A = this chain, B = another copy of it.
Amino acid sequence: MRMAMKPKTPLVQKFFLHLPPPSLKDNTAEIDRLKRHLRSEFGIEPIRLPFHLIPEWVRLLRQARYRVTATVAMLPPLYQLLQLEPGDTTGRNFGLAVDLGTTRLAYQLWDLGQRKLVAETDSRNPQTRFGPDILTRIQWAEDPLKQKELQGCVVAEINRILGCWAEIYGFSSQEVFSLALAGNTTMTHLFLGLDPASIRREPYIPMVNSVDPLQARELGLNLHPQGLIYVFPNVGSYLGGDVLAGILNSKLYRQEHLALLVDVGTNAEVVLGNSDWLLGCAGAAGPALEGGVAQMGMTAGEGAIEKVRIDPGTKELTYSLIGQGPPKGICGSGLIDLTAEMFMAGLLDLRGKFNLKVPTERWVEVDGQPAYRLVPPEETEDHRPIVLTQVDLDILLRSKAAMYTILTTLVESVGYSLSDIERFYVAGAFGNHIDPRRAIILGLLPDLPLERYLPLGNTSLKGAAEVLLDYHLLEEIKKIAGHITYVEMNVNQAFMNRFSAARFIPHTDTALFPSVRVPAI
């Protein structure tokens, strides 16, 4: 799957045309003249245009004295002429990339003429008011009216963000001709107004994996009405377009060496492979690792404790926050840090149980159970202490064990071992925040040299933006989608054995983690 490099060209490209005006010697019809020029000057052929716009565009050609800008959807084998404008407007071409997450939407606005990122932001997925998780929303969507609402609120949210940006950066929605969006399979279905019910019902069949490019007006999106909407194809019910965008962005599929991409979101998705083959799997390992379940857990955001250090000698604890204080809770990376540090300081044993024999004033009692206090109530925002309970810890350890087991199972299914992974890409906010060294100590990530770990950030969003900037990638996406094999994680006895072994810190088999020196307690 290596490809020849072609010069990058946006998914929707503007061409300034100066047509030779008609004459007795060159009396090709107006529209054919336009097509002829696009072919001879830019190699754009064949191209279709909206029939109903012919009279308007012929008038425009004549009034503009045959100096016009053609906006073309670069969708070979059949290009589409989206817009014709008088004069040279090639400098005005905006595109929006969207990562449609279950919890949050992330956006990038691109000036495609300048190939420049204009703005980036994210916002809450308004569907969360129907329910935080995918399953609840699938249930809501059984009612066709609610399904329309689920679609409508996401479309409205994207329109809202675009509207704000248009005001701030001084462009019109008519100048936005492309939107590329990646999300998981259910989110994609809801966005398209398709019933996702069958995704979660045996035999787990989405309605559609690869949807043809759409026009903005078909979905009610406030771009140019003919604006092109590209939705990343899903691989299957459990591997969505967001993972495909991630593979695209990581370039994992172009490399000879073995690489692994892990995206910890509401679910964890893992892709393993190289330029010859790709395996993908998905499993429920995520929420705790994202800070989603611990009593004081929160997603990485303002006021979250993201980094923790404990002096092994004095047991003194220091932490750092995202943004300005006061602290509100602890996010996934903070939790991983905390647990690893507690373990190295002897506050936890191999099985992940509190070692109450080690004296520290931080041992407290919550609901009659022992807990470890990070922040006293007087220092927090809501004047409740930030604590770690044994229950939280157990959940975290189950999550990390599930993660490690999924990684091991996937890698060994093709006869490799974890140490063969030469690049370990960690996607998502999770990837940006976790400290790989602490994650290794915990036994969440395999004991690889640290330089093999590469945080990539929001690969779904970045992959979507890449497509806006280069339509040639559509072909690559198609190849990746056709290329990847989904591996079902059968929760069988072998899996359960592995899982149990991985619930220790870092693992029952310490030989797997030679760099982690277990402290003598």
Most chain B CB within 10 A, of A31, A32, A193, A194, is at A32
Q: Which of B31, B49, B194 contacts A207 (CB 8 A)?
A: B31
Q: Which of B29, B58, B195, B207 contacts A29 (CB 8 A)?
A: B207
CA distance A206 to B27 in the complex (A): 8
Q: A207-B31, A209-B29 are in contact. Are A218 and B51 (CB under 8 A)?
A: yes
Q: A52-B218, A55-B195, A77-B46 are in contact. Are A208 and B31 (CB under 8 A)?
A: yes
B29 in contact with A208 (CB, 8 Å) = yes
Identify which of residues 182-223 in chain A touch chain B, using a CB-to-CB cut-off of 8 Å.
Answer: 192-195, 198, 202-212, 214, 218
B203 in contact with A23 (CB, 8 Å) = yes
A interface secondary structure, majority: loop
* Interface 1/0 per residue, A8-46 and B, CB below 8 Å: 000000000000001110011111100100000000001
CA distance A29 to B205 in the complex (A): 5
CA distance A193 to B198 in the complex (A): 45
A236 (CB) vs chain B CBs: closest residue: B27
Asked if A78 CB lies within 8 Å of chain B CBs, one says yes
Asked if A48 CB lies within 8 Å of chain B CBs, one says yes
Asked if A237 CB lies within 8 Å of chain B CBs, one says yes
CA distance A250 to B49 in the complex (A): 31
B77 in contact with A27 (CB, 8 Å) = no
Q: Shortest CB–CB separation between residue A300 and chain B, in angstroms?
A: 33
Q: Which of B30, B54, B210 contacts A205 (CB 8 A)?
A: B30
Chain A interface, number of residues (Cβ within 8 angstroms):
41
Q: A51-B212, A212-B49 are in contact. Are A30 and B207 (CB under 8 A)?
A: yes
Asked if A234 CB lies within 8 Å of chain B CBs, one says yes
B210 in contact with A32 (CB, 8 Å) = yes
Q: A77-B46, A78-B78 are in contact. Are A24 and B210 (CB under 8 A)?
A: no
A211 (CB) vs chain B CBs: closest residue: B51
B51 in contact with A205 (CB, 8 Å) = no
Q: Which of B32, B49, B58, B212 contacts A48 (CB 8 A)?
A: B212
A208 in contact with B54 (CB, 8 Å) = yes
CA distance A32 to B198 in the complex (A): 15
Q: Shortest CB–CB separation between residue A230 and chain B, in angstroms?
A: 13
Most chain B CB within 10 A, of A29, A35, A55, A205, is at A29
A209 in contact with B24 (CB, 8 Å) = no
CA distance A32 to B23 in the complex (A): 49
Most chain B CB within 10 A, of A46, A194, A205, is at A205
Report B-chain residues with C-beta under 8 Å of the C-beta of A29.
205-209, 234, 236
Report B-chain residues with C-beta under 8 Å of the C-beta of A204.
24, 27
B55 in contact with A207 (CB, 8 Å) = yes
A49 (CB) vs chain B CBs: closest residue: B212
B205 in contact with A27 (CB, 8 Å) = yes
B206 in contact with A54 (CB, 8 Å) = no
Report B-chain residues with C-beta under 8 Å of the C-beta of A46.
77
Add 9 more A-B contacts to A27-B204, A32-B209, A51-B192 (CB < 8 A): A22-B203, A27-B236, A29-B207, A32-B210, A51-B211, A51-B212, A52-B218, A55-B207, A77-B78
Q: Can you list 18 A-B pairs with a CB-CB distance of less than 8 A?
A: A22-B205, A23-B203, A24-B203, A27-B203, A27-B204, A29-B205, A29-B208, A29-B234, A30-B205, A30-B206, A31-B208, A32-B210, A48-B212, A51-B212, A54-B207, A54-B211, A77-B78, A78-B78
